[in-house]
Amino acid sequence: MTRNRILVTGAAGFIGAKVCELLLQSGAEIDGVDNLNDYYSPKLKEYRIQRLKNFDNFRFYKLDIENFEILENIFSQNKFSAVINLAARAGVRASIDNPFVYATTNFIGTLNLLELSAKYNVPKFVLASSSSVYAGEQVPFTENMQVDKPISPYAATKKSAELIAYAYHHLYGIDVSVLRFFTVYGAAGRPDMSYFQFIEKIKKEQEIVIYGDGTQKRDFTYIQDIAEGVVAAIKDVGYEIINLGGGKTPIEINFMIKLIEQKLGKKAKIVYKDFHNADMNETGADISKAKLLLDWKPKVDFENGLEQTIRWHIDNNEFLKTIQ
């Protein structure tokens, strides 16, 4: 890859940091943006950013994509070949408690970036979306499904961001790749994700909570695979929505817990609670479009990815104590 300058938002996030790492290794100049909010411990975000600062082709800005004026300062001083918007408020259940911040970050933040991309002639925009938009549809999920019945504010804001991105593609000719991610997992992940909590609590012999009976399924996708898909999506596609998921048999939560038990040599202490009505029973991606357009498919199977994730938790036990 030539030394293009690319703006990556959410650079301190789980996916954003790995995407930055791959791009930096390829020789791209990366301007990373993140507000380092406290949705989960900023120490974990700082841990990721410090690793990126080892690259001399990385610059970091602590700012919020909701702030149009500060964002414009960066656009006005640089010629970006692409914007990769991975900044978002994540979490289905948390979006019910505070829907306003989800609307301002996931929609208004995206609108700010699109408006500035149009104003400063940025030709490429990559937008992170979510499998959550498929609520109510039958597995496997395909990109042409009508997804207009979101069951959480989070899903609604993600769909809204997809729509405004299409409007800017239509009006200004910005080339847009919309990527719908499916349950991303791996080392240094988000502490609110189930696999992260299960590993930590089983390791410490603490109770874990399952909403429902544990038979719900997720199409887990390893972080390295997701990041490679994001990088592949920088190519010209026009306007396309593309699933990035495991693409095989979705994994039952109970099965994931059994694997964690086996690898840690400890038994889970499980507390069952009522299934949350903002959750989905099953997710599963049809990834044929990603294979066709991006020449992408996941390489890491779930058991190997989970083993690598658990190893990171064991190796970083002391650090993890500081972010609880």
Q: What is the pLDDT along the chain (324 residues), one digit of tens a residue?
A: 345 899 999 999 999 999 999 999 999 999 999 999 999 999 999 999 999 999 999 999 999 999 999 999 999 999 999 999 999 999 888 999 999 999 999 999 999 999 999 999 999 999 999 999 999 999 999 999 999 999 999 999 999 999 999 999 999 999 999 999 999 999 999 999 999 999 999 999 999 999 999 999 999 999 999 999 999 999 999 999 999 999 989 999 999 999 999 999 999 999 999 998 878 899 999 999 999 999 999 999 999 999 999 999 999 999 999 997
Name the strand (E) or helix (H) holding 62.
strand 58-62
CA distances from 82 to 9, 103, 107, 112 (A): 11, 24, 19, 15
Going by C-alpha positions, the residue among 172, 299, 173, 158 that lies closest to residue 241 is 158
Residues involved in catalysis: 154
Give the CATH fold of the 5-184+221-247+281-299 domain: Rossmann fold (3.40.50)
CA distances from 236 to 6, 8, 110, 178, 188 (A): 15, 17, 20, 12, 31
Global pTM value = 0.96
